[in-house]
Structures are given as C-alpha cells and as structure tokens.
A = this chain, B = another copy of it.
Amino acid sequence: MELHLINPNTSQLMTQKISESAQSVALPNTNVIAVSATHGPASIESAFDDVIAGAALLDAIRLGEQQGVDAHIIACFGDPALDAARELASVPVIGIAEAAFQLASLVSYRFGIVTTMQKTLPASEHLLKRYGYEHLCSGVRATNIAVLNFEDLQEDVYIRLKSECEKAILLDGAEAIVLGCAGMSKLAHQLTLELDVPVVDGVTAAVKLAESLYQLNLNTSKKGLYSSPLPKYFRGRYEHWSA
C-alpha cells in the first residue's frame, strides 16, 4: 500500500526521523511516503501553531489523494485538522494521538501521557475527551522539552523523558505510557525495555492501524460529518482551493 505520512511541521530532520521510525515497523509491501508541510511552523507547540499547521497540511492531504495514496497519517500529537482532512479524503486519515490511545488501551487499563511543553496539556485533554479516553488516562505530564529538541536525541533529553515516565507510573498509576510527540517515536522501544511497561508511540501505532484498515478495505465514510465540503470560492492565499 501507499502510506502517506504527513509531518505537519516543516522540520525536514524530524520528517526523516519519523519516516525511519514508520519504516521500521511497516510491512514489506507498505511504501511509506513521508512529507513535511511546505508551509507553516517549524514545530507545533500552541493552539496557534496547531491552526496554522492544520491549514497547511490540508494541501498535503489533497496532493496525496491526487497521487492515489491508500491512507494518510497526521504525524503530530495534536491531531491537527483531522476532521477537515477526513472530509477531503476518500481513504482513511489517522491521527497519531488517536492511534496511540487505541493501542495503549488494548494493553493497559490506564495509560499516562508524557508530552513536551506545559502549554500543550489542555490540547491533550481535548483529545482525550474528543476520542473518549479521559477515564482511561491516569494523567498528562509535561517534560518541558521543546519539540525540536527531539530532532537530534541528546542523552539528557532521553533522561528527562524517562524520568517523567517513571513519575507517571509511580505517582499517577500509569500502567502504560503514551508518548506525546511524534519526535519521540524512536525512543519507544528503549523506554518499553527500561520501564517494563508498554510505551506506545503514535507514529508506529498509526502505521499499523493504516495497514489494518487497508487490509480490511475500510475507508472514510462519506455519509455525514466526513462528506466532501461543498465546492465554493476561496480568496487570496487559499485561492487554489476554489471550486
């Protein structure tokens, strides 16, 4: 299958890391097409970044649809513009937060989330409520490590991340950990080994879910919320969206 992996921030380095992570778990016949947003913020750490990156990533969704990909992954833990993307797509669109919550809840009763900046905590809470996992989450913890620090994973970044995971387990009762940033993807395996609980990364989780839907012939419903938007006129910067 053609799997469209969209990093909605513009960091090429991060796209490459995420792509490697995705490829490491993809099936042999899955072709991972990893792209960065061509517009927008270098990283997504606020509601503002999220809105801008959300608008930008929809271009990638359309491009992927035109290329005939079989599924899209939005590789940012805020799942930006997910509903909008599903309106545009005929194939499945998967957010990595959603994917991580699903798999984490299959292997634990309560998972904890360990994420980047303090300021993103409400975003995680929104996602938990949106998808219905509030009662299955033991708490959300911020490392206060900026997203781009995960481009090249220094030792101290790993240590701080692991330390916050340990607090989630000991203090909050987390039975599994969800990593709250696509940039942390490559650390999941080592953390699973060292922490002795399942550590779930949304990028790899989304890859497997996309393959699952593909193999089951399940595509985005075009009845109801995810039906195609009415064609209309767009001005200025968005004129290319005009019908």
Cβ–Cβ contact B235 & A10, under 8 A: yes
- Is A122's beta carbon under 8 Å from chain B? yes
Closest to A10 in B: B235
**Size class of the contact patch on chain A:** 35 or more
A56 vs B239: C-alpha distance when bound (angstroms): 12
Q: How many copies does the complex hold?
A: 6
Cβ–Cβ contact A216 & B103, under 8 A: yes
How near does chain B come to A54, taking the closest CB pair, in angstroms? 5
**A38/B173 contact (C-beta < 8 A), A92-B107, A215-B208 known:** no
Which residues of chain B have C-beta atoms less than 8 A from A94's C-beta? 106
- Is A27's beta carbon under 8 Å from chain B? yes
Interface residues of A in 163-193 (CB under 8 A from B): 169, 173, 175-176, 189, 192
**A223/B238 contact (C-beta < 8 A), A92-B107, A204-B216 known:** no
Which residues of chain B have C-beta atoms less than 8 A from A236's C-beta? 10, 38-40, 56
- The 8 A CB mask of A224-240 against B (1 = contact, 0 = none) is 11110110111111100
How near does chain B come to A170, taking the closest CB pair, in angstroms? 10
Q: A residues within 8 Å of B by Cβ?
A: 10, 25, 27, 37-43, 45-52, 54-56, 58, 81, 83-84, 86-88, 92, 94, 98, 102-103, 105-110, 117, 119, 122, 129, 131-136, 146, 169, 173, 175-176, 189, 192, 196-198, 200, 204-205, 208-209, 211-213, 215-227, 229-230, 232-238, 241
